[in-house]
Structure 1
């Protein structure tokens, strides 16, 4: 079993595959401990998979996971984490914007006892208006809402202890919230600065539209961190408030009807309708909370479902395993 696993998702990165492999191999061989390189092809349409296949054919330390289509970065990372066998798992991008020479810094922090080590792009080289300003705003909101005091949630360049990352379910675009989710499980987290050079080749898969998706993800992560195991506390509180308020209005109208004999629908018709809507909406919110509680129970009892499907997994068997 390797001590370290390096997980790298690729999507149409044919220009960087070989270079990144050479740099990773040289760095990890200098580290000195056993390691494996887990390369995930996330439905590339260029020569990325063919190059990965050629690498796996000559190096038994390389595991290639080919997904059937492009599932997105979070799912590709989840596939890599699920197939990684190392005690320490490090994830990075495949576009050469993350330097393998910085990997020992991450591993040293894990050896110190931290569960999650997050990279911090302190000096970013990308566009100030289109990338850096939205990123700073999003990172500030993430830190405020999650309570995890780090500067950079967006980078993939992070290292984890195996038992921590395997306890975090990944789906959608949740990879950027791994530190927040890990903190919910009680993980210790630290941050180290990393370089962020511009891309040498290829096209970035990120744009300004991603900022809007991040906003909705922030709402999701805030809800998950606070009410993940008790959704009835959220929906039930709103529902109970609606039912109580609507009932008080209805009782007031009933008293008016009995005491004064007024024709309620003619004089207070809108209030009567509002009271009925508040009661019905409150009952619905309580019902949603109860369904959420059932989903939580199902989550803790059902088998794990992966957010991806695999086409094939390739690894060259080493000579030692062939002799056994």
Structure 2
């Protein structure tokens, strides 16, 4: 039986791009004789995205449509698409057409080579201004280094992977899943393909700086030990500096000098600094406790309000 390609696309306020996304994807894959299903997951869009998705699904049964009950976030939408996919090969991409559907056959050709389980794309161009480009690269670089994955700073969401990787991803059941750093830490064999990334037209990214920062913090807390290490290093440094300062005070006293700062001002500064460190430590501890609490609740990642061309979940 011929293998099927599952294209996973989370959708959030992308009504302006969906018809062109479908047309270009269908044209590129039909020309390459690739059997596919296009899974569009409406993640609580407030525009006409779901209306357009329904029209596409009614016209072509290869379009599989999921409408989530509210906005659960990009990674929950990816999870919904992945759990409803039936293909042997997978492509994950955004819906805003910055990722070119015409490049899917190129990714699949790279994926078919021996020793490749995941094919990542490296973005070239298309970023909206220097600030967004810098924050995007800083996000991927910082998260990659802090999680030990050392991912390229210009890595994109656009990627292809095989059924083995998809099955492994489905085994990760944590509520706060972030597929970017997760896939880098799984250990599968990877390849990288530089691809052009078109400029965004007619809309702005839903990933604001605040959302990028929140996602970075979530990734660091979930997939790295950086917060604990920072607290341990800082606490150890404070202890060593305190001992060194105590020794210096004793030596100064024995030698009869009076050059080091002392008195109430120094005491207040040290107490405030230590209180601040304690509060930071409590904040980190609270973040991990919240993650544990959320996992214990074992709530669903998402709720499907309506499904088209798919069995009801």
Structure 1 position 168, deviation (Å): 7.3
- Tell me what 1:111 maps to: 112
Structure 1 position 136, deviation (Å): 3.1
The aligned length equals 295
- Tell me what 1:253 maps to: none
Structure 1 position 139, deviation (Å): 3.4
In 2: Cα distance, 1:205 partner to 1:53 partner:
24
Structure 1 position 226, deviation (Å): 3.4
Structure 1 position 312, deviation (Å): 0.9
For the structure 1 residues 286 and 242, does the alpha-carbon distance in structure 2 shift closer, same or farther, using more than 3 Å as the test?
farther
For the structure 1 residues 227 and 33, does the alpha-carbon distance in structure 2 shift closer, same or farther, using more than 3 Å as the test?
same
Structure 1 position 5, deviation (Å): 0.5
In 2: Cα distance, 1:314 partner to 1:150 partner:
37
Q: TM-score, normalised by structure 2?
A: 0.70
The answer as to 2:312 corresponding to 1:313 is no
- Tell me what 1:261 maps to: none
SS at match of 1:151: coil
- Tell me what 1:75 maps to: 76
List alignment gaps of at least 5 residues for structure 1. 247-267, 318-324
In 1: Cα distance, 2:295 partner to 2:71 partner:
28
- Tell me what 2:166 maps to: 162
For the structure 1 residues 49 and 105, does the alpha-carbon distance in structure 2 shift closer, same or farther, using more than 3 Å as the test?
same
Contact kept? 2:32, 2:105, Cα under 8 Å: yes
SS at match of 1:186: coil
- Tell me what 2:90 maps to: 89
SS at match of 1:312: strand
The answer as to 2:134 corresponding to 1:140 is no
Deviations 1:27-57 (A, max 9, x none): 2223434321101112223322122112212
Q: TM-score, normalised by structure 1?
A: 0.68
- Tell me what 2:191 maps to: 190
For the structure 1 residues 236 and 36, does the alpha-carbon distance in structure 2 shift closer, same or farther, using more than 3 Å as the test?
same
Contact kept? 1:234, 1:289, Cα under 8 Å: no
For the structure 1 residues 53 and 213, does the alpha-carbon distance in structure 2 shift closer, same or farther, using more than 3 Å as the test?
closer
- Tell me what 2:219 maps to: 221
In 2: Cα distance, 1:295 partner to 1:221 partner:
14
